[in-house]
Structure formats: structure tokens, C-alpha cells
Chain A
Amino acid sequence: MTPGFSYRRAASIKDAVTGLSEGNGRILAGGTDLLGCLRDSVFTTDMVVSITGIKELKRIDETPGGGLSIGALATITEVSENPVIRERYPALAQAAAEVASPQLRNQGTLGGNLCQKPRCWYYRGEFHCLRKGGDRCYAVAGENHYHCIFGGKGCYIVHPSDTAPALIAYGAEATIAGPAGMRKVSLENFFVPPAKDVTKETVLEAGEIVTAIVLPPPLAGLKSFYRKIRSRQSWDFALAGVALAIRTSNGRVTDARIVLSGAAPIPWRLVDAEKALIGKVAGPDSAKHTAALSIKDAQPLKHNAYKIPLFKGMIEEEVANISQA
């Protein structure tokens, strides 16, 4: 059962920002995460602001510079099926196609997928954990099978989004509207690790809304791919996921982005492994080396050490595949 709240259907972005700024407002876009959080008492609200009527947030447009702007209200299905995305940003289309289930993809939005709350069962359950203002993270000594192996500090969630790693691999930027006007944040800097602030997942301040995600023009010859491993083949978050974007020249890697899902409290970019890959001959040997390097800083908890061979196996498989593609 949900708490009592007021409901406001915003007519414009400005109207939404105004609505959100009044009291403890929450955005309703697809609603697939909002309703679950309210029902499970993850948070409460006195004002739900629906942005579903704001048409401009639904657009997917090519930008003058040859990139692509995806409105925050574009559904995950639209992202996975959009021909331009499929052609130029295939890892994003693949990641979107791997999200949840068909019903949830039809209803859920790209903005919502990036701003969704973590899926830690302590956070979602009847546990007053650190992220909810409590005094401890239950995952530390608890059932931490699905928790992070990188970047945990105080809190050990994994970031639940499939689309975020793909977007970061392409160097995407979030456009944000707020009481102080518009601003742009690189998606890589959009997420907040627990070491910085354990109660926040994104840089959004009170009253701010993501309005669009802007992708730069794809680099010529870039090969990209998203892979997701999970316990169940549909309606499941990643045990391990990776977005890869690699460019080669004369068989040698010139650019590389490796961003993990299911690994850390934020989408986890493997900068060291990327650097080590540059200049190498793309193939099985460099794939093996990259995979080994990828997991060197992993710090598993009691029940999630499996993620180390899992990420290693997956990264090796995908780097080798993409080299051959």
C-alpha cells in the first residue's frame, strides 16, 4: 500500500521543476520503479510530479554535430528498436534490449533507467540501512551474493542500469533542467559513489530533472557491444555486464572503453585495463591480459567471490569476440 501524496501533471519542464521544488517531490515517468519504491517504503513522498505529458522529452533527434539526443522519456523499447541507435550505437540498443522484461521495457524510460534506485535487497527490504539513513550496511556481513566487488565503501550496492555503461562507453552527456536553469554533466560523472555520499545515487539536486541524453557522433571504425550475464534469462539485473567500445588501426587497438555493470555502486569504468589494451594487437592474448587486469583490484565479500572469475571470463570472451568482429 502506497503513502498518501499529491499528484501534479506537469505541462512543461519548467512546470515540473517548480512542482518538484515544492516539498519532497518525486518524478513519475514510467513509474515502474517509483511505485515499487513507494509500496516497499524505500522512500516516501508528499508530491508526485508526472512528466509523461511533456512531449519534447519523448523525442529522439539527430544533433547538428552528427550525434544523437535521446529524450529522457524515450522508452527502453524505443531505444532498443530505434534504427539510428541500432546502427550507430549498437551497444546501447543491445543494453536496452537486455533490460528487465518486455512489459517493463515498454513502460520504463531511459531517464528512469539511469535514475532508478539500487536493487540491494536490504535497501529494498525492511532493513533500516545506511543508504536509508540507518547506521549500517547489512550487506557487509549479510547475504551479499549480488553485491559489489569494486568501489564499495560504507555501502555495497551495485548499479542496476544496463544502459548507463553503454552510454558511458560512448561518452554520453546528460542534460539536466533545474531551478537554476539547464546544465550538462558527462554521464561518467553523473553517478555518485558511496564514498562521496552514501544517500545519493546521482548528482541531481532537489528540483532537477534529466531531460535528455546526448551522444557524440560515433568514432569511425568503432566497434561496440554490450553483454549481460544474469541468473535468469529475463526480468533480472546483471550479475555481470560489460559495455565495450574499441577502435583498431592496422590490427592494433587505438581507443578502448570498458565499462562494467553489476560490479560497483556506479557504472565501473576500467581505466587501467583500457590503457593497457591501447597499442596491443587485438586478439585472444590481449583479451586474456585485459581480463586479468580488469579484476586485479576486486575486493569480494563473503558470498560474491564468484564475480571475479565471472567478470574475468566474460571480459576475456567479449574482448576476443569484438577483436574478431
Chain B
Amino acid sequence: MNESERNIYYLRGIPVPETPPPGKDPSPWKKTDIVGTSIPRVDAYERVSGTALYPSDIRLPRMLYAAVLRCPHPHAEVMNVDTSAAEGMPGVRAVISGKTSDTDFAWWYSKEIKTKIFDPLCRFEGEEVAAVAAETAYQAWDAVRAITVEYKVLPFIAEESKSLDSSSPLLHPNGNTAKTDKYSRGDVGAGFSEADVVLDETYRTECELHMPMELHGCVASWDNDRLTIWESAQGVYSIQSRIAEILGLPLSKVRVIGHYMGGGFGSKLQPGKYTVIASLLAKKTGRPVRLFLTREETFLAVGNRPPAIMQLKAGVKKDGTLTALEFSCIATGGAYPANGTSLVDWLVRDLYLCPNVKTETKDVYINAGPSRPFRAPGHPQAAWALEQMMDALAEKIGMDPIELRLKNIPSFSQGREGNPPYTTTGLRECLSEGARAFGWEQARKRSSGSKENGHVKRGVGVASGLWFAGGGNPPSTAVVKLFSDGSVNLNMGASDIGTGTKTVMTMIVSEELGVKPEMVQIEYADTATTQYATPSGGSKTVPTEGPAVRAAALSVKQQLLSFAAADLKTDDSSLTLRGDEVISMKDPLVKVKIHDVTGLRKRGVIVGVGYRGPNPERKVVNPFAAQFCEVEVNTMTGEVRIVRFLGCHDSGRVMNRLTYDNQVFGGITMGIGLAMTEARILDRDQTGKMVNRNLHDYKLPTSLDVPKEMKSLPIEKPDDTANTIGAKGLGEPVTIPTAAAVANAVYHAVGVRMTGTPITPLQLCQALEKDGKERSK
């Protein structure tokens, strides 16, 4: 054997996991050698060194650059567009607007209301009015500036609280309510009368923007009647189907290529108008067109986490039994139906045992950019309300906040019809083991009424959560190819949105086939050459794609054993894969090197196809979470410093501890943004325009805003009922409890309840002053 062949396999002298007969599901892994270890990302070098090509890096021969003219008003009618000057400018190859006949395609944010690519009625600042393709980006922007538009400026709504006022302008003919949802179980009235303590509070979370590192956009190119799109996307097939539907093309004629992408957080699950505009400009000019938005444009037009006003009334008995929860919420998905209240009541319905629950949510229109799903839609908002309420209830009945939560842990999903059980729930362990690791009791006592530095107080807080989805689901198809030298190619349609999907899938192939991870090459995220996959979102990529990849690897193994059985003139059920050989379990002398297996040598490749099987019936697969933090509050200035954080998560099997911890720290960081720094600010009383449209004024947390001490403690309970790899989703639960944990810690430190995000000296300084005055009365 030469050196390169020897390097392909882990020569570890132990068999790879058993190979089930064809058509049968494999048993859960009992012991793993690769899965669960800490392996650096398989594409870390490419990403860090800059050799990885992202869609925004694509430069095609003869490519043009596009720029979009956007409405500068939050609500205006386009009376006239004059593009004549722009058309005559140097380098300009095409100008399109609502006036050009080739742009008459429907667009929708959700199916309830259809609009146009260039709709004459602009309902939010940043809505598209015209677009230019030119030889250079500078020429395109110069031409955009040369377009003159006559607007009829209309009255606007900038606050969801005012959307339903009778004096407010209507955004759509049927009124400003996009959607009302109601839910009820038990009898909340009876529940409140049973309670020893009833509290009622109004909470508010500000609008948060996704701000992925890579901007939104694509490169579009036509080859006769076939359209190819390189897009920064969370899923290539979801882009393909929407663009094919809009342009009236067969799926086979739309190829979408994703590959590397620089983050989406939910805002890149679907194409944007930019995708259609680039395609139309490319068609019109007969040349490839690149349209990536500027950072400023992404503040307006590519989604957000909807701002929410939430009222929560809760009843509890002295022994900690929750008796009733009543929740109402007004939130806004912006100027179009865009799921502004999606899942915002879910934690109230499902997180804690409570027989009497009533919720009502209302999604209303305002003149602002439509929302898009944002990492755990609805959940961090609901946790902000519910988890602060749990804290307040615990204080009122004189119980530790962790003890109150532990008293109310359900084993089944109360929010769903028929109360189906969770396959697994680690909520209890997240809270109790997390509390131990955090040193909760000591920290709680130590910081309670702390006199450190006199006016600088310490406090600790906890919050928990679950994520509505996270179990994964069919469909998914994966293909594993074993080459004649034993190296492997994995072909899957899913995108790796920066979470480590490629690394985890490589580890699954490596686990099953015994090849080293570096011998696995992945082809992914291309509708022409890789298999169908739903977009990477919902914390479902690992539990969806992982089982399909495992099944594909198993299929390869079954075929390999069958070929080897022919060579060894034995029954394939007596054979197993060990290192670089297929060997008989009965007689160790009966064996053949993989690269000598005749069937493989003759074909050159073994192709295994794997499919994602169905989820267990009448069971719910959800991940669970608890997070703990310690803060320091300066009571003279309202400054808050987060001292440390612990994320304790049950997401089933830990596939790779490194990428796992990355998710936990990333989720906490994003949650600190919601808690402490981020808010979209509209000029509500004058123009309705967004005033903090840049990365200085819209404050993402920096490395100095997150604590040096961040820890992750996985509660590892492989969920063998859920799927064949035992993993549940992780990417979203990690950001659900964070903001609420900070608010609870601030309360513990200074006794002031911060019901609105973000907690900055702007709010806290005044709250502390007011609190001080009340106390001295």
C-alpha cells in the first residue's frame, strides 16, 4: 500500500458501526469515534485564508453591475419616473422601472397580498422604484442618482401601537390588521381566582436587524433560456422554486448555486426582489449581472425581527404551581403580511405546565420594511416577557426562580392538540446542572444586596426556553460516492450557513465508513448537481440532513460488503468493515482490502443514496435551554457590565463540541445584542425614515460587550427516538433565553425591572433615579 492510501483510513483496529440489512434503519450509535469529538471545521482554512469563494466574490466575464433606486419615503405614490438622463450616461446598459414593460412580474412577501417588482405604491422606505445595469458599480450608482422620480408623499405609520388608530392611514384596502391569532385552553378566569399571586406586566422588544456579514444579493446569468444564479442564500432550492414561479420557468431551467455564504440568520431563506431584478437586467442586456445591496439598503429592505408589545398576566400558587397565563401581543411584520407575530406566544403555551392559558396576537401594518424570520422567530420576544414574569412570580412567593421553574416542567407539549409527549426533554437538567456549574446558590447569596464598590451592584439571573421546531423532517436526499481508492465524495443540497454543517456531515460519513474526515470531499448547495434539500433554518439542518447522510453512507457500506462477499465467496452478513479492509467476523484470515474489492474496481465508484425517514408519530422533537448570567450595575450611571454567561443546552447528541460551542457563544452574543444594544429607530414624529441606518448608530454588540467568561455545558441526551443520529437542533435555542437572563440579573442587582429592550444607560439611569426617589419617600 502506498502512503496516500494508508492515509485515507483511521487504522484504529475497531470495526465501524454495524451495517443494517438493506431497507432497515440502523441502530443508534452506541459508541462513536468521530462524532462527538472536537474537530475543527473542514473548511476552516478556506474561510480564514480568504480562498473560499462567496457569492459576493463572483466576477464573471462581461459581467455588469446593478444598483437599485429606492423610495426615500416611508409611504408614497410614484407619479412619474424619468430615466432618460440615466439611460444616456456612460456605461449604462439597461434601466428598468415600473414603466418598462419587461418588469411586470408579481412579488409577494407572503401569499396573502401580491405586489409588483416595481409597485407604484411604495409602502416602506427602501421599496424598489427602478434599477440600472452598467459596466461599473460607480456608473450604475451615478445613473441611479440621475433618475428623477415624482412622488406623492402620503401619511405614514411608524409605530405598531398606532397602526389601528382610526386616524391612521390604511396600508392595504382591508385595513391594517395583517393577522389575528387566538388560542385558549382551560379557563384562565378560574385559574386566576385559584392563584395566591397574580401579576400583570407589559413588555416591549425593539425591532432587531439581521446584519449578516455578507450582504444580500446575487449574480444572475442567462445561457439562452437557462438562468443561473449565484446567491448568498440559506437554501438553493427555495431560491430556485420562487424564482421559477415568478418568472414562469421550469425548475430545470433555473440553477441556483450557493456554496459558501456569509450568514443569514433567517433573512436569506428566500430570494429577494434583488434576485428578480438581477435576472431581469441580465435578460435584458444579455450579460451576467451582479446585484449586491449596500449595507445601508440592508437596513431597510431585507427583513428584521418584528418589534413587539406584549402583555402578560400570570397566576401562581404559594407552592409554585402556575394556575393561569394570559398573553396578548401587538407586533408588526412591517408594510406587508410577513408573519410579524409568528410563534410569539409559543413559549407561553408550551414551556411550563399550566392548565389555563389564553393568548391573542395581532400582526399589524406599519410603513417599514417587511420582517423575515429571525433566529428563533417569536421566541426571544416571548422569553423576554415570560421569563421576567417567572422571576417576578418567584420573588412574590419567596421562592428561588430556578425552583419555581423546576416545579413546572412538562414532559409533553401542552400547546399542541392531544398533548403529544416530547421525545426527550432536558429542561430539568439544563436548569439544575446549569445551576450547579454556574454556582447559582452561592452567586445568588453573594450578590444579593451586594455592597461591592458601594454603588456598583452585582446580580445573577436565569432564563430558560425551548424551540418550537428543531427536530428536522423529511425530505432530504444525500448521495455518498466511494471511489476506488477508498476516498469519498458526499453530495447534498443543503447549505452550510456558517454553522458547521459540512463538518458535521463529514464526521457522519467518517464515522460510518472509517475514512479520515480530510478524505471526504463535499459537493453542496447547487440545484443542478446536488440533491433536494429544504433551506438551512429552523435549527433543523443537522437532524434533517444527518440521517440522510448516514443512510447514504450505510448504503455504500452494504454494497461494498456485498461486492467483497463475492470476492471472498462468503455471505455478506458475516463481513464487516475494519480500517481499510473488509473482514470476516468468523475468520480473520478471510479479508480483502477495500481498494482490491473487484466490484468497486470494475465500477470505479460505489454510489449510495440516503433519504431522511419520517419523524416519530404523535411525538414532538424539541431542544431545551437554560442560560445563566452575572452582571454588574453602576447605580449612579445605569451602566451594565455582563460579567459571565453560561449556556446549558439539551440538543440531543453533541455532534462536534467545537461547532456546538460556537453556536452557544454566537447565540448568547446575539441575545446580548437584543438585551443591551440593538434597536431600529424610525423618525416617528416627522418623516418616518430610519435614522440609525449604519453600523455605528445601529449598535451590534462588539467583543467588549460580551463577557470574557462564556461557558457552554451541553446536557447530552442522544435522542434515539427522534432520528438515526440522535441530534436535535441547536442554532436557535441558544439565543432564546439570553436577553431575559440579562434582565433578570439586572433586576437581581438593583431591584429595577427593565421591561423594554435594550437595557442601556438611557433607560436604566432614569429608572434607577425614579426607583431611588420612590424608595426615599
Contacts and interface: CB of A to CB of B under 8 A. Distances in A.
Contacts of A314: 636-637
A132 to B, nearest CB: 15
Contact of B636 (A101, A121, A122, A316): A316
A30 to B, nearest CB: 16
A313 interface: yes
A310 B638 contact: yes
A1 B138 contact: yes
Given A125-B693, A127-B687, A142-B686, A231 B760 contact: yes
Interface in B718-773: 758, 760-763, 765-766, 768-769
A83 interface: no
B636 A125 contact: no
Interface string B679-698: 00111111101011110110
Given A142-B686, A316-B636, A121 B705 contact: no
Contacts of A143: 681-684, 691
B433 interface: no
A229 B762 contact: no
Interface stretch (A54-62, A209-217, A233-241, A248-256): A233-241
Interface string A33-69: 0000000000000000000000000000000000000
A239 B703 CA distance: 19
B699 interface: yes
Which one of B137, B635, B691 has the greatest number of beta carbons of chain A within 10 Å?
B691
A145 B206 CA distance: 15
B762 A232 contact: no
Contacts of B203: none
A141 B762 contact: no
Interface string A282-325: 00000000000000000000000110011001101100000000
B132 to A, nearest CB: 12
B761 A305 contact: no
Nearest to B705: A233
Contact of B762 (A234, A235, A306): A306
Contact of B704 (A1, A233, A240, A313): A233
Contacts of B135: none
B705 A310 contact: no
Contacts of B768: 309
Contact of A121 (B142, B685, B691, B758): B691
A87 interface: no
Contacts of B20: none
B523 interface: no
B693 A234 contact: no
B360 interface: no
A232 B138 contact: no
Chain A interface, DSSP helix/strand/loop, else mixed: loop
Chain B interface, DSSP helix/strand/loop, else mixed: loop
Interface in B630-687: 634-639, 676-677, 681-687
A138 interface: yes
B637 A310 contact: yes
A235 to B, nearest CB: 6
B683 A235 contact: no
B709 to A, nearest CB: 15
B761 A229 contact: yes
B703 A231 contact: no
Interface in B134-150: 137-138, 141-142
Contacts of A231: 677, 699, 758, 760-762
Given A138-B683, A138-B686, A306 B702 contact: no
Contacts of A119: 696
Contacts of B635: 313
A314 to B, nearest CB: 5
B521 to A, nearest CB: 37
A135 interface: no
Interface in A111-144: 119, 121-122, 124-127, 138, 141-143
A145 B685 CA distance: 13
B182 interface: no
A309 B765 contact: yes
25 contacts: A101-B702, A122-B691, A126-B689, A142-B685, A142-B686, A143-B682, A143-B683, A145-B681, A229-B639, A229-B761, A231-B758, A232-B677, A232-B702, A232-B704, A232-B705, A235-B702, A236-B696, A240-B637, A309-B766, A309-B768, A309-B769, A310-B761, A314-B636, A317-B634, A317-B636
Interface of B: 72, 137-138, 141-142, 455, 634-639, 676-677, 681-687, 689, 691-694, 696-697, 699, 701-705, 758, 760-763, 765-766, 768-769
Interface of A: 1, 101, 119, 121-122, 124-127, 138, 141-143, 145, 229, 231-236, 239-240, 305-306, 309-310, 313-314, 316-317
- Per CB-CB distance, the 3 closest pairs between chain A and chain B, nearest first, are A313-B636, A233-B704, A234-B702
